[in-house]
Amino acid sequence: EAQVTQNPRYLITVTGKKLTVTCSQNMNHEYMSWYRQDPGLGLRQIYYSMNVEVTDKGDVPEGYKVSRKEKRNFPLILESPSPNQTSLYFCASTTLSSTDTQYFGPGTRLTVL
């Protein structure tokens, strides 16, 4: 089954404790991205990757890092989480075909105390 998986699905942590949210897709997609969703602000893109070893900032990259060492994986790293990073996070992937649809993961609900 074609899918995007994220882990963990729920995480409660404390300020400053480094964490990684994993994202994996099994569709051989070149493009992967991370969004965060906050009440009243909708979904906003954090980072994206056009292919292995190619990453770039989205609209709200501050406080986040990403890496793309393998095509299927695109982890989101919070080196020193802060309470304003409490949010619902989604990973998405698609091919580089001009009109292909994007597939979203199930989401990771992060709370930073």
Partner 1 sequence: DAKTTQPPSMDCAEGRAANLPCNHSTISGNEYVYWYRQIHSQGPQYIIHGLKNNETNEMASLIITEDRKSSTLILPHATLRDTAVYYCIVTGAGSYQLTFGKGTKLSVIP
- Gap between the Cα atoms of 60 and 74, Å rounded: 17
Closest CA to 91 of 2, 31, 13, 12: 31
* 101 is a contact residue toward partner 1 (CB under 8 A): yes
Among 21, 66, 92, 110, binds partner 1 (CB under 8 A): 92
CB of 11 to partner 1, least distance (A): 15
| Structural contact between residues 34 and 93, judged by C-beta atoms closer than 8 angstroms | no
Six token digits for residue 9: 């699905």
Q: Is 88 in the site for partner 1 (CB under 8 A)?
A: yes
Helices (H) and strands (E) in the chain, counts: 0, 11
User: Is 99 among the residues that bind partner 1 (CB under 8 A)?
Assistant: yes
Tell me the residue type at 111. Answer: T
Task: Give CA–CA dist 113/101, Å, rounded.
Answer: 36
Q: Does 13 interact with partner 1 (rule: CB under 8 A)?
A: no
Does 94 help bind partner 1 (rule: CB under 8 A)? yes
Out of 11, 43, 52, 77, the residue judged to bind partner 1 by CB under 8 A: 43
| Chain positions contacting partner 1, by CB under 8 A | 4, 31, 33, 35, 37, 42-45, 48, 50, 58, 88, 90, 92, 94, 96, 98-99, 101-107, 109
